[in-house]
Structure 1
Amino acid sequence: VGGEESSVEMRYEDENIWLTQKMMAVLYDVSVSAINQHLKRIFDDGELIESSVIKKYLITAADGKNYNTNHYNLQAIIAVGFKVNNDRAVQFRKWAGQIVKDYTIQGWTMDVERLKKGTLFTDEYFDRQLENIREIRLSERKFYQKVTDLYATAFDYDKDSKTTRLFFQTVQNKMHYATHRHTAAELIVERADAS
C-alpha cells in the first residue's frame, strides 16, 4: 500500500486489510501520535466501535522479540484518512470520493486492474459476486414478468395479434439491451459458434 517511497506491507486476512498505527503513519505521512489521536477521536465520537475494528497480531520487532500488536481494519484506515490533513490524505480522499461517486451514479464500482491481476480475491468473493449476478437476473425476470402481466390485463389484449407480438419483442429487446447492451438478435449473432 502507498507509493514506492513510502510503501507499507499490509496484512490481508478474513477479506480485510489490517495495518498497525505505525503502518498508517507511514501510509498517511504523519506521526504515530497523530494516528493515535485520530483513532481516539473516531472511537470517542462513536464513528467506529473500537472492538469491531481491532485485531491483535503477533509481530517481530527490530529487537527480535515477538509482540501482540493492535492492527486496525480497513474501516478504521479509511476513517483516519478522512481525519488527517495533508497532501497524502487529500490524495486519498479524492480517490475515495471518486469511488463513492461511481457507486452513487452507476450503482457499482470496479477495480479493473485488480480484477485483471486477480490479487486479493478469495473463493468467497467470487461466490458473492455470482450470487449478486443471480439476484440481478432474477429481478430482471420479475420486472419483465410484471410488464407482461400488466399488458395482459389490458382490455384489448389479444395474445395472437401482431401488435402484441411486436410489443413483447420490443420489451424483451429493451430488457436485453439494458442488461448487456445488445438486442436479442445481436446477442444470438454475437454468441453463435460457426465452428
Structure 2
Amino acid sequence: MAKQRVKERTPRYSTAEHGEVVLYQSHDGTARLEVRLERESLWLSLDQIALLFQRHKSVISRHLRSIFSSGELGRDSVVAFFATTAADGKVYSVEYFNLDAILSVGYRVNSRTGTQFRIWATSVLREHLVRGFTANERRLRELKQSLRLVEQVFDHRDVTVMIAASNPADRQSVCQMIVNMINERN
C-alpha cells in the first residue's frame, strides 16, 4: 500500500447500497482495487486482499483462518457480507474483511508487496506513536500549568474565605476578587 495512489479519473463515488467506494491503483499498475468505505472502516473481499498482496486466495484464506483460530481477531467483528454485482450482472452476497483483518494478513503474507506493506504500516504506526507521544507531552504540560493555576487559586481562596468568614460584610467583594483572579489567568 505504500506505493499506491488514488486513481485520478474516478477517485470516489457513492451509492446507496455500497456506501463510499474509493479506487486505488498501484504505481506499477498491477493492482487496481475498488475499496469499500463503510461502517467507519475499509473493506476488501478475499479476491481484493489476494490482489493487494499478490498471493493466491488460498494463501490469504489460510492466513485468515489462522488469525481467527488463534484469537488474534474475532471473525464476527471483522467480517461483513455485502451485496456485490459480479461480471455476469448477477448480485451475490460476498464476504468482506475490514481493515483490522487486512492489516493482520499484511503482517503474515510473504511477498514483495507484503514486505512493502509491512514497511509502510510500520512507518505509519511509528509516526502516529511519535505524534501521539508529542501531543500527550504537550497536554501534560498544559495540565501541569492548569494544576498550578488551580493550586494558586485555592491558596488565594483559602485566605479570602478566612477573610470573608471573619467579616461577612466583605463576602461579596471577596467573591468578586476570586472571579477576577480566575478570569485574569484565563
Alpha-carbon RMSD: 3.2
| Structure 2 residue 47 is the aligned partner of structure 1 residue 22 | yes
CA distance in 2, matches of 1:149, 1:55: 50
Q: Quick check: 1:57–1:70 contact (8 Å CA) kept in 2?
A: yes
User: Contact between 1:24 and 1:77, CA under 8 Å: does it hold in 2?
Assistant: yes
> Highest CA radius of gyration, 1 or 2?
2
Aligned residue for 1:41?
A: 66
Quick one: distance in 2 between partners of 1:53 and 1:44? 14
Counterpart for residue 116 of structure 2 = 91
* 1:32 corresponds to: 57
Report the equivalent of 2:33: 8
Distance in 2 of aligned mates of 1:100 and 1:138: 21
Q: Cα gap change, 1:137/1:107 in structure 2, threshold over 3 Å: closer, same or farther?
A: closer
Question: What corresponds to 1:103 in structure 2?
Answer: 128
Residues paired across the two proteins, number:
131
Please show how residues 12-161 of structure 1 align to structure 2 within 5 Å: 12-107=37-132, 142-149=143-150
Cα distance change on mapping 1:36 and 1:146 into 2, 3 Å? same
The gaps in structure 1 that reach 5 residues or longer are 110-132, 155-171, 173-195
Could you say which residue in structure 2 is the equivalent of 1:176?
none
Relative to structure 1, is the Cα distance of residues 88 and 108 closer, same or farther in structure 2, using a 3 angstrom cutoff?
A: farther
Q: Is the 8 A contact 1:58 1:68 kept in 2?
A: yes
Q: Normalized against structure 2, the TM-score is what?
A: 0.61
Higher relative contact order (CA 8 A, sep 6+): 2
Structure-2 residue corresponding to 1:189: none
Structure 2 unpaired stretches of 5+ = 1-23, 156-184
Structure that is richer in helix per residue: 1
Counterpart CA distance in 2 for 1:40 and 1:69 is 17
TM-score w.r.t. the length of structure 1 is 0.58
- Structure 2 residue matching 1:85: 3-state secondary structure: coil
Q: Alpha-carbon deviation of 1:99?
A: 1.3
Deviation per CA, 1:150-193: give whole Å up to 9, x if none: 56799xxxxxxxxxxxxxxxxx9xxxxxxxxxxxxxxxxxxxxx
Matched residue type, 2:127: D
Is the 1:102–1:108 Cα contact (8 Å) retained in structure 2? Answer: no
The corresponding residue for 1:122 is none
